[in-house]
Structure 1
Amino acid sequence: MQGYFKLSRHYKFALQNTFQMFPSALGTIIVEDDLLVSHDFIDYFRKFSPLLNDPSENLFCLSTWNDNGKDDQIEQNPELVYRTDFFGGLGWMLSKKIWDEEFSSKWPTAFWDDWIRNVEQRKGRQCIHPEVPRTSTFGKVGVSNGQFFDQYLGKIHEFHGDFSWKQFDLEKIRKNEYDEQFFKKIEALPKAELSDFESLKAPEVRLIYSTKKEFEAAARKIGVMTDLKAGVPRMGYFGVVTALFKNKRVYITPPNPRLWEYHTDW
């Protein structure tokens, strides 16, 4: 338990001193010492950092991690990116504005990552993350004692190919256009039951949940992480979580994502 307090102090020291040493920097990239990164790791942040510093985009971080990015559950398309309400960390960027105006004065004494996920810090903002992770972790031995490592984290690997972000169209991930396309996509999907979705011929299906128990059952069935933080499922956006299951794209969604509000007691 003491390790979580040391980690939080270390993060505060590092962030505070980084922004003091580079006062003109608009943000900083945080890379833990147990991460491997892809060749396009820096270019990813270079491409999306203008959005992080645009208030109209409603972002509080950029992340290169995908908690549901196990090798057999992602589409091997290096340019796929998403918005998420979940803070994943593990190779991420924080803006100087948020640090100076919000986080620096009230940084927690422990469990800094769960603190960031709380509604008081997130404030309805999102992160951007890739389908194909740009980081992987070998940190099985650490403060968390390898929690989730064998089942999930150890099966997630950084992108190994060659890819350039120069031609990526940022308009696709800007909030207004992204959200409308996102909702239309979900609403057009064929609905399925947990008991029979595997038999449907459709390449993409929608599983609907209304309770925590129903979400956990669907997540467990397709093999993604089942836990929630401040009511937000890992990599969820308006309550929607997606991954491949036996080469079928599955979306676990609430009844109406447009109106979904997270239950912080879940």
Structure 2
Amino acid sequence: TDGRRQAGFEEPKWLGYHKIAAHYKWVLTKLLDERQYTQVLMLEDDLEVSCDFFDYFRHLTPVLHSDPTLLCVSAWNDNGQAPFVHNATVLYRTDVFPGLGWMLTSTMWKELAPKWPLAFHETPFLIIKKKRFWDDWLREKAQTKDRSCIRPEVNRVYTFGEHGSSDGQHFDRYLKPIYLNKQLVDWSAQQLDYLLHPHYDQWIDHLVQSATVIDFQALSSLPSSSSSSSSSSSEYVIWYDNIDQYLYFARQLVLIDDTKDGKPRGSYKGIVTIRLLRPQNKILFLFFLNKLKSNQLYQLFLSFYYLLEIKLKKQKNRKTRYKFTLHFIKIRLQHFLKSAPF
């Protein structure tokens, strides 16, 4: 790691994260800058690969190079547990960097290399500074610039790294049940044009528009494959009002209840796609935020802010950092409303 440490994180417990970030930068620099390869496939040493792993990446390489709205191609699906996947040929876009077996182009590396993090990237969130490691940094909007990664429905990698730098976070509950693809897919016979922009948005929009809207509570009453009629819809949409509601749904289904940069893992524009109950069923969770409700909440917050500001002015002995904190919260909320997908 050339002896450097992120300020404030010099303790030995953070050494693994410094080494990981430095190692990624060294490898990417060596292969893409010095040896001038046009793309690199990054594969961690605690991953088992599927039988069609290399063929999968070989046929997605031209897709990645041809579409500037793509950030990477990944072999990983965060929601790839056995009960939620079925079709080994279906691929999706996600605007949350998946990691765990991923391909990057030299063009993308030229953009990322000058600002690659030493180990951590501290992002202010309200009054708290959140630690972000290299992969969290890569998920931030400043890096993604609204670009997506391609990921499979059925995982092409399986992690057996229960004990690592992150101390096996989520392993037993979410990573151990991941299903590794066993089907030898002939990727040369697959049509992949739908993954390109703008075809993908048209494809996913059609899927959503043709699906049946149901409440989350109605999942238990959907027919099973043995009792379903030919006229029943195979695609369903469940709307969620905010991220907390989605996380509640995720916990009920034992999906990973985690977000990255405010987005559900594996999601694309707020849509999380899984299969449930029977192989031909898709459950789509769609992001929907009521703008009027948000603006009313913001006006209520402003009223509270100004009242508290007046109170602080009357108490001269209060520390000025409280006033700064209030101002910072106000700015962050304004930024959120401007960037919210209304």
Same topology, TM > 0.5? yes
AA aligned to 2:31 is T
In the other structure, the counterpart of 2:116 is: 107
- How far apart are the structure 2 equivalents of 1:205 and 1:162? 29
* Stretch of structure 1 that moved more, 138-147 or 158-167: 158-167
CA distance in 1, matches of 2:83, 2:114: 42
Match of 2:38 in 1: 26
Distance in 2 between the 1:60 and 1:161 partners?
Answer: 27
CA contact (8 A) 1:61 1:126 kept: yes
SS in 2 for 1:195: helix
Higher gyration radius (CA): 2
Q: Distance in 2 between matches of 1:33 and 1:124?
A: 30
Partners of 1:3 and 1:134 in 2: CA distance: 26
> Per-residue CA shift, 1:55-74, capped at 9, x if unaligned?
45x10000011110011210
1:21 shift after superposition: 4.2
Q: Larger deviation: 58-67 or 182-191?
A: 182-191
Structure 1 position 243 matched with structure 2 position 304: no
Structure 2 CA distance for aligned equivalents of residues 241 and 228 of structure 1:
12
Equivalent pairs counted in the alignment come to 256
Question: Secondary structure of the equivalent of 1:9?
Answer: helix
- Classify 1:207/1:242 alpha carbon distance in 2 versus 1 (closer, same or farther; 3 Å): same
In structure 1, the residue matched to 2:51 is 39
Is 1:87 aligned to residue 97 of structure 2? yes
Q: Note the residue ranges of structure 1 that are not aligned, 5 or more in a row.
A: 257-261
Alignment of 1:102-181 (within 5 A): 102-110=111-119, 111-181=133-203
Deviation at 1:161, TM superposition (A): 2.4
Secondary structure, counterpart of 1:42 in structure 2: helix
* Higher helix residue share: 2
CA pair 200-39 structure 1, distance change in 2 beyond 3 A: closer
The 8 Å contact of residues 40 and 163 in structure 1, kept in 2 or not, is answered as yes
4+ long deviations beyond 3 Å: 200-203, 262-265
Please say if residues 224 and 243 of structure 1, whose CA atoms lie closer than 8 Å, have aligned partners that are also in contact. no
Amino acid corresponding to residue 253 of structure 1 in structure 2 = L
The residue number in structure 1 matching 2:11 is none
1:223 CA displacement = 2.2
Q: Which runs of 5+ in 2 are unaligned?
A: 1-13, 120-132, 224-232, 290-335
The aligned residue for residue 286 of structure 2 is 253
Displacement of 1:79 in angstroms is: 1.0
Aligned residues of 2:77 and 2:155 also touching (Cα < 8 A): yes
Q: Return the match for 1:69 from 70, 80, 97.
A: 80
- Are 1:8 and 2:18 matched, yes or no? no
Corresponding residue to 2:217 among 191, 195, 199: 195
Tell me how far apart the structure 2 counterparts of residues 30 and 167 of structure 1 sit (CA, whole Å): 25
CA positional deviation for 1:3: 1.4
CA deviation vs aligned residue, 1:125-175 (integer Å, no higher than 9, x gap) = 001111111100000000000001000111113212222111111222222
Distance in 1 (CA, whole Å) between partners of 2:185 and 2:63 is: 20
Within 2, Cα distance between the matches of 1:179 and 1:203?
20
CA distance in structure 2 between the aligned counterparts of 1:93 and 1:51, rounded to whole angstroms:
12
Separation (CA, whole Å) in 1 of partners of 2:238 and 2:254? 14
CA-atom RMSD in angstroms: 1.9
2:61 aligned with 1:49: yes
1:208 CA drift (Å): 0.7
**Among the aligned pairs, what percent are the same residue?**
36
- d(CA) in 2 for partners of 1:169 and 1:55? 16
CA distance in 2, matches of 1:153, 1:93: 21
C-alpha distance in 1, partners of 2:139/2:33? 25
> Relative CO higher for 1 or 2, CA cutoff 8 Å, sep ≥ 6?
1
Per-residue CA distance 1:79-105 (angstroms, 9 max, x = gap): 1111111111110001100111x1111
Superposition TM-score, scaled by structure 1 size: 0.90
Of 197-206 and 9-18, deviating more is: 197-206
- Are residues 90 and 28 of structure 1, via their aligned partners in 2, closer, same or farther at CA, if it must alter by over 3 Å? same
